[in-house]
Amino acid sequence: VLMQSPGTLSLSPGERATLSCRASQIVNNNYLAWYQQKIGQAPRLLIYIASRRATGIPDRFSGSGSGTDFTLTISRLEPEDFAVYYCQQYGSSPLTFGGGTKVEIK
């Protein structure tokens, strides 16, 4: 099970966002990914293997962590970053997702 916190994060553009994903058991090989999803759109891959940015993802997005505790950090929020963020583990089957963190404009 992947638990994401907080459920909602209310921040202003330019602020730093820190999102947490905690696994109930060790994520093998740190196979943990982060996705961004906007209303009416499909998810967009941001980060994989805990800290590797996907192609075309701005460097204000960074991932960290290992074992059971992982973090997605957005260094300075841009207007287009307000969305829902999901973590996904792929270290064991079945693939599973966290419940999501909504980053909303304060």
- What residues line the site for other proteins (CB under 8 A)? 31, 33, 35, 37, 41-45, 48-49, 54-55, 86, 88, 90, 93-100
Q: Tell the smallest beta-carbon distance from residue 13 to other proteins (Å).
A: 26
Q: Tell the smallest beta-carbon distance from residue 19 to other proteins (Å).
A: 14
Q: Are the C-beta atoms of 97 and 79 separated by less than 8 Å?
A: no
Q: Tell the smallest beta-carbon distance from residue 12 to other proteins (Å).
A: 26
Which residue number, 12 or 42, has a Cβ lying nearer to other proteins?
Answer: 42
Which of 21, 27, 11, 32 has the alpha carbon at shortest distance from 76?
11
Which of 12, 23, 17 has the alpha carbon at shortest distance from 65?
23
In 10 A of CB 84, how many CB atoms? 18
Q: Are the C-beta atoms of 27 and 89 separated by less than 8 Å?
A: yes
Q: Tell the smallest beta-carbon distance from residue 91 to other proteins (Å).
A: 9
Which residue number, 12 or 93, has a Cβ lying nearer to other proteins?
Answer: 93
